[in-house]
């Protein structure tokens, strides 16, 4: 019951801000309000309980902590699900969460870096210029006049996250064990994966490493810039990074004033995403608008700037290949191929009828083609696909949840930048080019060349590996022989028992039958009855036993 204190706190906050107003027209809301009734007492109610409900939701998420704030950040990009007023209110969660004031930023830096701030920075702003779910950022200048930002983790945030993870695990176990849809959602695995992601986000050294890797992946790129990390100033709870001077990607008015080509900007964003997923297998998985900026240089060929690389995703080789093939087949409307790939990858049971699954996929996907992005909702498409796939016992793939969340962010961003974007024409050439490169003989030869050094290193160990394999095979053969003999002996014993039971029954029937015979007047009259019965049984056993 370690989750109980946090559950009570969450319930109290929900009641204080009257968040049940969002479900006022839903069935069962009466029971939900009865549950909240003990927390409706005046001393528990918030002074802001009478404010606009969108404001109340934003404040409640801020008070609940980082996991709920991140949920609000995702909702702020989904204007196809929620009205604009709610999305606008939640948008402030991206970089305008109330900052912490104690302890002072100078104290945290001095304790972490072991040196007075006056010796580290020429100037350091005490007030943050941006504050998000798990950290806040301060402007600073180094002694060589380089402009940097200092990112600091919120004190005590680990405890809050740990309590929320316990609560999520309890809820996940409850949902998975009590419902069929819960089993298909596999919430326990999803929460376990998210636990690793969120605790990695609290380690700024891990974020710095991710940022450096992403910077190398797009070194000298004309479409994406990643700022430099100052490793000498970076610790687990403090990170110093190059300061960037871009335009927030959601500031459409400023982008238009700079004459930025929004159509090209949106198409470039799609290509960057696919490059990260399929070429680098290292993708920025927290791409809400607060983490993306646009360079002021060269507006005709705009360039993105990415920050906050705390959450990075990658796929296994199998998931990456199946995902690319699925997307390519969907874009070509080859639904038969999509069905075959789902079965081959194990995403649906092997017993699934391909023709039925193909028809179901076609019924969901066909209506979305040849439509601009403003008329397509991938969020709703994912929900509809999941409902349809329920007929075929398809489960959520936890390894792809982070990617799906990133796709929702990308789509929401694309809607804001250029609603007329034709996603199919933008993505299809990229996927076709990726597939051609993958099947190119020179690519295959290059992969073989990459593996040759590893194969050479394994050659000295090959005889020993062969001997071990042969020994294991021999041992396995011996075990199989022993098991076979035991099985044969058990079968013979069972057969003997069956024969004995059968013969005993026949013997008993013979004795009973003979006892019912009238007196014998022939030459057998002097033969004892038991002897006669045994003789007949012996004849049966000799003639009919099998």
Q: Which residue has the tokens 């969108």?
A: 54
How many residues are listed for the chain in this entry?
A: 546
d(CA 144, CA 138): 18
CB count, 10 Å around CB of 183? 15
Q: Report yes or no: 233 and 113 within 8 Å, Cβ to Cβ.
A: yes
CB count, 10 Å around CB of 394? 19
d(CA 371, CA 368): 6
d(CA 126, CA 355): 64
HSE-up (13 A, CA, CB side) for residue 178? 6
Q: Please, which residues have CB within 8 angstroms of residue 369's CB and are 6 or more apart in sequence?
A: 333, 424
Q: How far is CA 247 from CA 32, 75, 259, in A?
A: 44, 22, 12
Burial (Cβ within 10 Å: 0-12, 13-18, ≥19) of residue 513: exposed
Buried b (16+ CB within 10 A) or exposed e, 240-276: bbbbbebbbbbeeeebeeeebbbebbbbbbbebbbbb
Q: Active-site residue numbers?
A: 286
Q: Where are the beta strands (DSSP E) in 87-153?
A: 123-124, 130-131, 135-141, 147-153
* Pairing, β 224-225 against β 304-306: parallel
Collapsing DSSP to helix, strand or coil, 247 comes out as strand
Secondary element (H or E) of residue 35:
helix 29-36
Q: Report yes or no: 191 and 3 within 8 Å, Cβ to Cβ.
A: no
Residue 378 in tokens: 């991938």
Q: How far is CA 545 from CA 300, 399, 498, 538, in A?
A: 96, 62, 12, 10
The number of angstroms, rounded, from the C-alpha of 406 to the middle of its chain's C-alpha atoms is 10
Q: Report yes or no: 226 and 309 within 8 Å, Cβ to Cβ.
A: yes
Q: Please, which residues have CB within 8 angstroms of residue 505's CB and are 6 or more apart in sequence?
A: none
d(CA 411, CA 409): 5
Q: Please, which residues have CB within 8 angstroms of residue 377's CB and are 6 or more apart in sequence?
A: 80, 81, 411
Instruction: Output the DSSP codes for 277-345.
Output: IIIIS-EES---GGGEEE-SS-TTS--EEE----SEE---HHHHHHHHHHHHHHHTT-HHHHHHHHHHT
Q: How far is CA 30 from CA 20, 21, 41, 132, in A?
A: 10, 11, 17, 35
């Amino acid at each position: 019951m370690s989750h109980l204190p946090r559950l009570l706190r969450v319930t109290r906050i929900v009641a204080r801000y009257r968040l049940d107003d969002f479900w006022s027209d839903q069935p069962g809301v009466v029971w939900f309000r009865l549950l909240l009734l003990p927390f409706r007492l005046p001393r528990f109610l918030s002074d802001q309980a009478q404010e606009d409900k969108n404001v109340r939701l934003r404040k409640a998420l801020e008070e609940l902590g980082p996991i709920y704030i991140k949920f609000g950040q995702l909702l702020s990009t989904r204007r196809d699900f929620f009205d604009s007023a709610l999305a606008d209110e939640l948008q402030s969660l991206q970089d305008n969460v109330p900052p912490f004031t104690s302890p002072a930023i100078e104290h945290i830096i001095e304790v972490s870096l072991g040196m007075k701030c006056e010796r580290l920075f020429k100037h350091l702003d005490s007030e943050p210029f941006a504050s998000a779910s798990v950290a806040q950022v301060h402007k600073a200048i180094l002694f060589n006049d380089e402009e940097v930002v200092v990112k600091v983790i919120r004190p005590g945030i680990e405890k809050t996250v740990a309590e929320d993870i316990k609560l999520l695990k309890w809820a996940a176990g409850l949902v998975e064990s009590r419902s069929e849809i819960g089993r298909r959602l596999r919430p326990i695995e999803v929460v376990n994966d998210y636990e690793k992601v969120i605790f990695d986000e609290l380690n700024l050294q891990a974020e710095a490493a991710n940022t450096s890797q992403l910077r190398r992946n797009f070194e000298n790129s004309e479409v994406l810039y990643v700022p430099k990390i100052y490793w000498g100033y970076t610790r687990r709870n403090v990170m110093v990074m190059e300061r960037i001077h871009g335009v927030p990607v959601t500031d459409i008015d400023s982008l238009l004033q700079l004459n930025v080509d929004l159509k090209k900007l949106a198409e470039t964003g799609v290509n960057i995403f696919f490059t990260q997923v399929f070429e680098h297998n290292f993708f920025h998985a927290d791409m809400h608008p607060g983490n993306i900026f646009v360079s002021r240089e060269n507006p005709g060929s705009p360039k993105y700037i990415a920050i906050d690389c705390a959450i990075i995703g990658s796929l296994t080789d199998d998931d990456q290949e199946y995902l690319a093939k699925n997307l390519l087949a969907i874009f070509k409307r080859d639904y038969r191929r999509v069905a075959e790939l789902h079965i081959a990858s194990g995403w649906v049971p092997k017993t699934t009828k391909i023709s039925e699954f193909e028809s179901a996929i076609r019924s969901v996907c066909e209506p979305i083609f040849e439509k601009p992005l403003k008329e397509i909702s991938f969020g709703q498409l994912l929900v509809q696909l999941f409902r349809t796939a329920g007929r075929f016992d398809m489960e959520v793939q936890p390894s792809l949840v982070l990617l799906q969340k990133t796709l929702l962010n990308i789509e929401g961003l694309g809607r804001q930048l250029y609603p007329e974007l034709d996603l199919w024409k933008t993505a299809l050439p990229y996927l076709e080019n990726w597939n051609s490169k993958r099947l190119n003989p020179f690519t295959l030869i290059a992969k073989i060349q990459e593996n040759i050094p590893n194969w050479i290193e394994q050659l000295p160990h090959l005889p020993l590996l062969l001997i071990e394999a042969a020994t294991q095979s021999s041992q396995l053969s011996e075990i199989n022989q022993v098991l076979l003999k035991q099985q044969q002996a058990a079968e013979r014993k069972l057969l003997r028992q069956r024969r004995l039971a059968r013969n005993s029954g026949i013997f008993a029937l013979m004795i009973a039958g003979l006892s019912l015979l009238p007196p014998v007047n022939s030459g057998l009259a002097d033969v004892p009855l038991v002897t006669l019965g045994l003789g007949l049984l012996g004849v049966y056993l000799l003639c009919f036993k099998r």
